[in-house]
Structure formats: structure tokens, C-alpha cells
């Protein structure tokens, strides 16, 4: 696995490298201090996972996420940020982030989050999961604890949605039309009782469904 760390603080990058190497010795780690450096990586050296601080010089927060995702379409991007505003977290997820790790997390929680990320899971801070505001559509929310059933193709689409992949990337990887991806997403949202990517991610967390989504 190739992981790219994008952060403008060298000491923080080195700290993350140490944690990642301790958790997964075989991992290959690259780092960048700006969005420009991150997107300059050659296609042959594309990362599998990107840990991104959105507060970078010369770019707005969500724009940094958009640019990095556009440059590395197949990579999962997890935001690592000191900003814990639930609105920003949900916006980042809706823009395709595959998780969000607060920099204020203590060492043990950071390790737990990184273990989950390295296992192809998704980490979201408790504040984002418990913040006020509806994350489900009241009209079609499943009963509490209900486990929705999905077809094999829907699970394949859901897996890639949880990785933050755009519809066109999902379509390309599964060799189906983008319209078919949208149809599958519609069925997934309906089964989960949600109406957006962010809500779907929160609902999967709530139902502890990660084990049901193939890795």
C-alpha cells in the first residue's frame, strides 16, 4: 500500500509516518507540503490512500480536497484536520472524503483511527456522528437496528462510495454505465433511509455494517 501524507507541517508529517510505519511496516509512505506537490505525483506513483490536511497555504479547505481527489481519482482520501466543525466534516464527506480524523485526538484514538483506515474502514469523529441535525430522511428511515439487504452489485457500489470514489470512477471500476451507478446509489440510499453520501456513511457507522461490505 502506498500512502501519501499532505500537510504543511513537517513535524506532523514525520509523526504520522512513525505511527503508520509502526502499524503497518510494509506500507510505503510519501509526503507533500502543498496541494501542488500532492497532485504532481506521476500516474505510475499514484497513492492508494491519502491523509490530507485541508488547511493548506494557497487554497481553501474544500477546494484542496477537490483538487487532490481530481488528481488521484482512485485513491481514498481521509481528512486529518484540527477543525472539528460537524458542518465541515459533513461537507468533506459529501465532497468524497472517505473519513475524517481530528488532529486533537489523543495518541491511542489516533492509532485506533489509523488501524481502521488501514483496514479499509472509515473513521468519523464522535462529534460528527452525534451532532444535532437529521442525518436520515424521516419519511423512509429503517427501524432502529434494522439491517438492510443489498445485492452483490449494490455492495460493490457501496464499498466504493465509502471509499469516497466519484460516480464516474465507480462506473469505470465496475464496467457499468454511470447512470447505472446512480440507480444503484438510489436503491442504497432508499434502503438506508438517507439521501446523500454523508448520510449513507453515518448510517453505515450507526448500523456497524462494515463487516458486510466486502473489503
Q: What is the pTM of this model?
A: 0.78
Residue 168 Ramachandran class (φ > 0 left, ψ -120 to 50 alpha, else beta): alpha
pLDDT, averaged across the chain? 84
Domain ranges of the chain: 2-130, 152-212
**Strand pairing partners for 67?**
none
What digits encode the pLDDT tens for the residues 128-162?
665 544 444 444 555 545 678 888 899 999 988 88
Grid cell digits, residue 199: 448520510
pLDDT at 11: 93
DSSP secondary structure code for residue 212 in this structure: G
Alpha-carbon distance 49 to 10, whole Å?
19
- CATH number corresponding to 2-130: 3.40.50.2300
Q: What is the CATH number of domain 152-212?
A: 1.10.10.10
Amino acid at each position: 500500500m502506498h500512502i501519501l501524507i499532505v500537510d504543511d507541517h513537517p513535524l506532523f508529517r514525520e509523526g504520522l509516518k512513525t505511527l503508520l510505519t509502526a502499524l503497518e511496516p510494509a506500507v510505503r509512505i510519501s509526503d507533500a507540503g502543498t496541494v501542488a506537490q500532492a497532485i504532481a505525483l506521476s500516474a505510475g506513483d499514484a497513492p492508494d490512500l491519502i491523509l490530507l490536511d485541508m488547511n493548506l497555504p494557497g487554497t481553501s479547505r474544500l477546494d484542496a480536497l477537490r483538487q487532490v481527489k481530481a488528481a488521484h481519482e482512485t485513491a481514498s482520501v481521509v481528512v486529518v484536520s484540527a477543525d472539528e466543525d460537524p458542518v465541515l466534516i459533513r461537507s468533506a464527506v459529501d465532497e468524497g472524503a472517505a473519513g475524517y480524523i481530528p488532529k486533537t485526538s489523543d495518541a491511542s484514538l489516533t492509532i485506533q483511527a489509523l488501524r481502521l483506515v488501514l483496514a479499509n474502514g472509515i473513521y468519523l469523529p464522535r462529534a460528527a456522528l452525534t451532532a444535532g441535525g437529521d442525518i436520515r430522511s424521516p419519511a423512509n428511515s429503517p427501524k432502529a437496528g434494522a439491517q438492510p439487504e443489498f445485492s452483490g452489485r449494490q455492495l460493490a457500489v457501496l464499498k466504493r462510495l465509502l471509499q469516497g470514489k466519484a460516480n464516474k470512477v465507480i462506473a469505470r471500476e465496475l464496467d457499468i454505465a454511470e447512470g447505472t451507478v446512480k440507480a444503484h446509489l438510489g436503491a442504497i440510499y432508499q434502503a438506508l433511509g438517507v439521501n446523500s453520501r454523508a448520510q449513507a456513511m453515518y448510517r453505515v457507522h450507526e448500523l456497524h455494517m462494515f463487516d458486510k461490505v466486502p473489503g
